[in-house]
Amino acid sequence: MIRNDFKKLNIKKLDNLYNEDKNKIIIAGPCSIESEELLLDIAEFVKKNGATVLRGGAYKPRTSNRDFQGLKSEGLQILDRVRKKVGIRVVTEAVDTESMPEVAEVSDIIQIGSRNMQNFTLLREAGKYGKPVILKRGMAATIYEWIRAAEYIYESGNSDIIMCERGIRTFNDYTRNTMDIAAIPIIKKETGLTVIADPSHGTGIRDLVIPMSCASLAAGADGIMVEVHKNPEEALSDKEQTIDFRDFQELMRKI
Ligand code: PEP
Ligand code: MN
């Protein structure tokens, strides 16, 4: 049951993150930063085709400790060089308070991942840098819990919060998660915050990224975040949900 006592947050519109013609925030890039050459290729391609922000994980919160954990500090240095070379804003995830200063120095937007949505120490810390924060919905978080988590960031003095619907756990086992499309207009109505959707993690299936991006935007999302790779089959993480360059062009045409 939703407790209807949310406050409208006093937000600034994050104008500089929007795509000029479509007025949407388009965040695209690989799940993980793998090498400078590859990230540069991806960054140039997505920028040319309408992305406003490059994504790429350096610190990766992986379900299995045996999987690729990201290039960490080295990944952040690559991201910094690519950001400057290409001239594009970047977002990367902070997984703990120790790496937060390093992340905040390089990243134009700080990402808090699903697994950390209720890491309140991390949320408070993320709000201290004066940079926009993407708060991904916890995979089993209610609307109430998600909004309350956002208020931890807000309380640190940061109102530039972007709420990202990335799918939740349900009995449906066909997709990796179930996208809660209704959450998009609910969050906008209850908080006034900017809302984006991540159909890559939301579905876990490459072929669903375009239709679910369209569905999210139709429901009023201010933007999307999608995983794009030059050779998705060779991606070191989340290859099943990663689209290639042609699909990204198709996505941009469709939206
Ligand atoms: C990500 O976007 O890199 C990620 C790990 O997503 P999530 O936190 O939504 O699982
Ligand atoms: Mn991923």
* Nearest ligand atom owner, CA of 134: 1
Query: Does the model's pTM come out above 0.75?
Result: yes
Lowest mean pLDDT among 9-18, 38-47, 83-92, 133-142: 9-18
For 197-206, write each residue's pLDDT tens digit.
999 999 999 9
pLDDT at residue 1 above 50?
no
- Best residue among 201, 212, 225 to mutate for probing ligand 1's pocket (most ligand atoms within 8 Å of CB) is 201
Is the CB–ligand 1 distance for residue 119 below 6 Å? no
Closest residue by Cα to atom 6, ligand 1, is: 113
pLDDT at residue 71 above 90?
yes
- Which residues fall inside 5 Å of ion ligand 2, going by CB? 31, 238
For 82-97, write each residue's pLDDT tens digit.
999 999 999 999 999 9
For 158-180, write each residue's pLDDT tens digit.
999 999 999 999 999 999 999 99
What value does the mean pLDDT take over residues 123-140? 97
Instruction: Go through 191-210 and write b for each residue having 16 or more CB atoms within 10 A of its CB, e for each that does not.
Output: bebbbbbbbbbbbbebebbb
Q: Are 254 and 210 in contact (CB under 8 A)?
A: yes
